[in-house]
Amino acid sequence: MSQTWLILTVITCSILMQACKPVTSLSDRIVSLPGQPSINFSHYSGYITVGDYPPRAFFYYFVEAETSPDSKPLVLWLTGGPGCSSLGYGAFIEHGPFKVKGVDLVKRDYMANLLYLESPAGVGFSYSTNQSFYKGITDNITAQDNLVFLQRWFTKYPQYEGRDFFITGESYGGHYVPELARLIVQSKVEINLKGIELRIDFKRLLKPFLTIIPLFPLQFDYLFGHNLQIGNPLLDYEFDTNTMTTFYWSHGMMSDQTELLFQNVCNYTRLLREIRSRNLTSECLEVLKEAAKELNDTNAIDKYDVLADICLTSGQSTLNIFYKMLTTAHSLSSSLASEDLINYQNFLETKDPCEEQDVIKYFNRKDVQDALHAKLVAVGHWNTCSDDVNKNYRFEDLYISMIPVLGELVKSGLRVLIYSGDLDAVVPFLGTRTMVDALATNVLKLNTTLSYRAWFDSKQVAGYTQEYGNLAFAIIRGASHTAPATQPERSLQLFTSFLEGKSLPTNP
Among all residues, which ones are annotated catalytic? 171, 424, 481
For residue 93, give Cα distances in angstroms to 135, 358, 385, 443: 29, 10, 14, 36
CA neighbor of 419 nearest in space, from 403, 438, 432: 432
CA neighbor of 176 nearest in space, from 244, 269, 81: 81
Q: Are strands 450-457 and 226-231 parallel, antiparallel or unpaired?
A: unpaired
How many Å apart are CA 173 and CA 252, to the nearest integer?
Answer: 30
How many Å apart are CA 27 and CA 177, to the nearest integer?
Answer: 29
Residues 149 and 98 sit within 8 Å (Cβ to Cβ): no
**487: amino acid identity, one letter:** Q
CA neighbor of 320 nearest in space, from 339, 342, 341, 295: 295
Residues 143 and 218 sit within 8 Å (Cβ to Cβ): no
Return the SS3 of 127.
Answer: strand
| Alpha helices in 157-255, H assignment, sequence order | 173-186, 203-206, 237-241, 243-250
Residues 490 and 502 sit within 8 Å (Cβ to Cβ): no
How many Å apart are CA 245 and CA 231, to the nearest integer?
Answer: 20
**291: amino acid identity, one letter:** A
231 pairs with which residues across the strands? 419
| Alpha helices in 251-337, H assignment, sequence order | 256-264, 268-277, 282-295, 320-327
CA neighbor of 298 nearest in space, from 279, 318, 278: 318
For residue 449, give Cα distances in angstroms to 226, 467, 471, 472, 473: 19, 6, 10, 10, 12
Task: Please state whether the peptide bond connecting residue 82 to the residue before it is cis, i.e. omega within 30 degrees of 0.
Answer: yes
Residue 52: CB partners within 8 Å, gap ≥ 6?
Answer: none
Residue 351: CB partners within 8 Å, gap ≥ 6?
Answer: 89, 93, 302, 304, 318, 481, 482
Q: Are strands 450-457 and 460-468 parallel, antiparallel or unpaired?
A: antiparallel
Residues 34 and 368 sit within 8 Å (Cβ to Cβ): yes
Return the SS3 of 58.
Answer: strand
Largest CA distance in the chain: 97
